[in-house]
């Protein structure tokens, strides 16, 4: 029961309180870039959930069974980014062979994920927060879900914005930023939910 | 374009933050004060300059297919150097910037300049581009940092400049303020460009 409680606390913290996009400022490029439509936002979100969970798992193993025993912690950044880059490549190839339909849906988003700082961010945060193996995997999963949630919400808002009357020089990116600010303000309300 | 133009284009015309919207994550995350903004700007400029130099020197040896991983390794090496030097000599700043120092690796501005400029141009031009873009990035960070620090704390570089009766707009320092200040500045930039 205690384990279940910890998992719920971790989920609420990762999805709402410390939302990766709105509270930690990670993964802003895809957040602004791929949120013009709900469909593509959902596709990107799914790909990110998948890669973040995988990346959390593998970087935790690398840190604890490779870098720490060999005392190579200073190589952390290089090791993690290479792992993520090859992981994304691997995932892309596996999905392409085994699930062509899924590949069609996610395909264009996968290469973009390598430079999504949310993925490297979650890997480093797992190590910094000294999470256990299980917690790391779950943190990756929930952080991905939080990312997808705000990405899809943003997609919905921006579909409406298309037809809204916005001053010419505020069209596109600037108004998206202001909307993100309003969303961040709403998410600040979750800050009281500390465990 | 002459070398001088390569140097100055990043200041305003092709400013990496306001015009090209690259490197948004560190821009919004670390600009709670001018001091952090300058630190982040300097660190990114150093990495960008060094990465541009190395990549323009070795561009002939890198096979086109694996160029992105090669660029990432070069960038990650310099980020590791910055991380260690800062940790040793500027521990306070290192703590403030936190996770965003290793995340310079996935700053799309640096990879973007490597891919779009250093891999196609000679050494001198790449150096000019690296310095120019780095300074442009720092300028943008300092502008956002100043606005947020003045509004949110009534201070500039830690010195109180507002009258004693000033009520700080706390939201400017919190996450929503970053998005809104950024959106307004991008809108103003669009307005200036149009005239």
Report pLDDT digits (tens) over A115-136: 778 888 999 999 988 899 999 9
Sequence-ordered list of residues with C-beta below 8 angstroms from that of B4, at least 6 positions apart, any chain: B128
Q: Tell which residue, A112, A144, A136, A146, has the closest CA to residue A58.
A: A136
SS3 assignment, position A41: helix
Top-confidence residue, A153 or A113: A153
Of A120, A176, A177, the CB nearest to B103: A120
Return the DSSP state at B174: S
With an 8 Å Cβ cutoff, are A184 and B105 in contact?
no
User: CA quadruple A172, A50, A186, A41: dihedral positive or negative?
Assistant: positive
The reported pLDDT for the residue numbered A106 is: 67
- Establish whether this prediction's ipTM goes over 0.95: no
Q: Hey, are the CB atoms on A120 and B106 less than 8 Å from each other?
A: yes
For residue B107, the chain A residues in CB contact (below 8 A) are: 117
Instruction: Evaluate if residue A112 carries a pLDDT over 80.
Output: no
Residue A195 has pLDDT above 60, yes or no: no
**Do the Cβ atoms of A174 and B186 come within 8 Å?**
yes
pLDDT of residue A91: 79
pLDDT score of A100 more than 70: yes
- Residue A107: per-residue pLDDT: 62
- pTM comes to 0.86
Range with lowest mean pLDDT among A161-165, B62-66, B126-130: B62-66
| Mean pLDDT, residues B31-50 | 91
In this prediction, residues B165-176 reach a mean pLDDT of 83
Residue B195 has pLDDT above 80, yes or no: no
Put simply, whether A161 touches B (Cβ < 8 Å) is no
pLDDT for residue A108: 66
Is any Cβ of chain B less than 8 angstroms from the Cβ of A175?
yes
Closest residue in A to B85 (Cα) is A74
Q: Is the pLDDT of residue A145 over 90?
A: yes
Write down the pLDDT at residue B65.
Answer: 77
- What's the pLDDT score for residue A46? 85
Query: Is B72's CB within 8 Å of A124's CB?
Result: no
Q: How confident is the model at residue B107 (pLDDT cuts 50, 70, 90)?
A: confident
Assess whether pLDDT exceeds 90 at residue A146. Answer: yes
Name the minimum distance, in Å, from the CA of B166 to any CA of chain A: 22
Low-confidence winner among B79-83, B94-98, B191-195 (lowest mean pLDDT) = B191-195
Where does chain B have alpha helices with state H?
Answer: 3-8, 24-29, 34-58, 67-89, 91-97, 108-113, 123-153, 175-194
pLDDT at residue A194 in the model: 62
pLDDT of residue B162: 73
At B125, list the tokens.
């031009």
Beta-carbon separation of B171 and A85 below 8 A: no
Longest dimension (CA), chain B: 63
Interface-testing mutation among A184, A188, A190, A191, with chain B (most B C-beta atoms within 10 A)? A184
Q: Using an 8 Å CB-CB cutoff, list chain B residues near A177.
A: 179-180, 182-183, 186
A94-103, A162-171, B51-60 — which is least confidently predicted? A94-103
User: At residue B179, does pLDDT exceed 80?
Assistant: yes
CB-nearest to B179 from A26, A170, A180 is A180
How much of chain A, in percent, has pLDDT values that exceed 70?
96
pLDDT of B175 reads 86
Phi-psi region of B76 (alpha: psi -120 to 50; beta: other; left: phi over 0): alpha
DSSP track, A47-93: HHHHHHHHHHHHHHHHIIIIITTTT-GGGHHHHHHHHHHHHHHHHHH
Q: Who contacts A114 (Cβ-Cβ below 8 Å, separation ≥6)?
A: A84, A85, A88, B68, B72, B106
- The tokens describing B130, both together, are 């690296």
User: Which residues in chain A have Cβ-Cβ distances shorter than 8 Å to B72?
Assistant: 81-82, 85, 114
Contact at 8 Å (CB) between B142 and B34?
Answer: yes
pLDDT at residue B98 in the model: 84
**Which DSSP category does B118 fall into?**
I
A114 or B189: which carries more pLDDT confidence?
B189
What are the tokens at B192? 């200036």
Report, in angstroms and rounded to the nearest whole number, the Rg of chain A calculated over CA atoms: 18
In degrees, to the nearest 5, what angle opens at C-alpha A83 toward C-alphas A77 and A84? 90
Average pLDDT for B107-118: 85
Mean pLDDT of A74-85: 88
Query: What pLDDT score was predicted for residue A172?
Result: 81
* CA quadruple B142, A168, B19, A78: dihedral sign: positive
Question: How far from the centroid of its chain's Cα atoms is residue A94's Cα?
Answer: 21
Distance from CA of B193 to the nearest CA of A (A): 9
Among A177, A182, A185, A188, the strongest candidate for a mutation testing the B interface, having the largest count of B CBs within 10 A, is A177
- pLDDT, residue B43, reads 93
CA dihedral B179, B45, A86, A127 (to 10 degrees): -70
Whether B184 contacts chain A with CB within 8 A: yes
In the numeric block, which tokens belong to residue A150? Answer: 């705000």
From A137's Cα to the closest Cα of chain B, the distance in A is 19
Rounded Cα gap, residues B90 and B97, in angstroms: 11
Residue B153 has pLDDT above 90, yes or no: no
User: Of B142, B115, B121, whose CA–CA distance to B15 is shortest?
Assistant: B142
pLDDT band for A153, please (50, 70, 90 cuts): very high
Closest-CA residue of A relative to B112 is A115
Asked if A47 and A116 touch (Cβ cutoff 8 Å), the reply is: no
The mean pLDDT value of chain A amounts to 86
Give dist(CA B86, CA B73) in Å, integer: 20
Q: pLDDT tens digits, residue range A15-66?
A: 888 888 888 888 887 888 778 888 888 888 888 898 899 999 999 999 999 8
**Whole-angstrom Cα distance, residue B34 to residue B13?**
23
């Amino acid at each position: 029961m205690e384990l279940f409680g910890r998992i719920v606390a971790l989920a609420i913290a990762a999805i709402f309180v410390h939302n990766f996009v709105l509270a930690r400022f990670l993964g802003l490029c895809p957040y602004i870039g791929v949120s013009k439509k709900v469909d593509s936002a959902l596709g990107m979100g799914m790909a990110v959930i998948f890669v973040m969970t995988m990346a959390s798992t593998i970087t935790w193993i690398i840190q604890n069974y490779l870098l720490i025993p060999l005392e190579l912690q200073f190589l952390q950044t290089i090791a993690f980014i290479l792992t993520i880059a090859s992981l994304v490549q691997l995932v892309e190839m596996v999905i392409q062979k085994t699930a062509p339909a899924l590949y069609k849906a996610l395909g264009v988003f996968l290469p973009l994920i390598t430079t999504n700082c949310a993925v490297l961010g979650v890997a480093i945060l797992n190590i910094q927060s000294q999470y256990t193996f299980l917690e790391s995997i779950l943190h990756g999963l929930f952080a991905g879900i939080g990312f997808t949630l705000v990405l899809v919400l943003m997609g919905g808002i921006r579909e409406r914005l298309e037809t809204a009357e916005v001053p010419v020089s505020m069209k596109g990116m600037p108004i998206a930023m202001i909307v993100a600010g309003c969303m961040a303000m709403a998410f600040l309300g979750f800050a009281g939910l500390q465990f | 374009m002459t070398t001088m133009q390569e140097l100055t284009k990043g200041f305003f015309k092709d400013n990496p933050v306001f015009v090209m919207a690259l490197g948004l994550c560190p821009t919004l995350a670390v600009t709670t004060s001018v001091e952090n903004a300058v630190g982040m700007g300097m660190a990114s400029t150093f990495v960008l300059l060094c990465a541009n130099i190395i990549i323009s020197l070795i561009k002939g040896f890198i096979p086109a297919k694996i160029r992105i991983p090669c660029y990432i390794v070069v960038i990650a090496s310099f980020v590791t150097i910055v991380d260690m030097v800062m940790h040793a000599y500027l521990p306070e700043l290192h703590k403030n910037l936190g996770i965003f120092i290793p995340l310079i690796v996935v700053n799309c501005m640096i990879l973007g300049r490597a891919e779009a400029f250093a891999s196609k141009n000679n050494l001198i031009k790449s150096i000019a581009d690296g310095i120019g873009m780095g300074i442009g990035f720092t300028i943008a960070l300092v502008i956002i940092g100043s606005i947020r620090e003045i509004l949110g704390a009534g201070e500039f570089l830690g010195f109180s400049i507002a009258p004693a009766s000033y009520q700080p707009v706390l939201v400017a320092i919190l996450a929503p303020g970053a998005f809104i200040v950024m959106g307004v500045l991008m809108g103003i930039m669009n307005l200036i460009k149009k005239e």
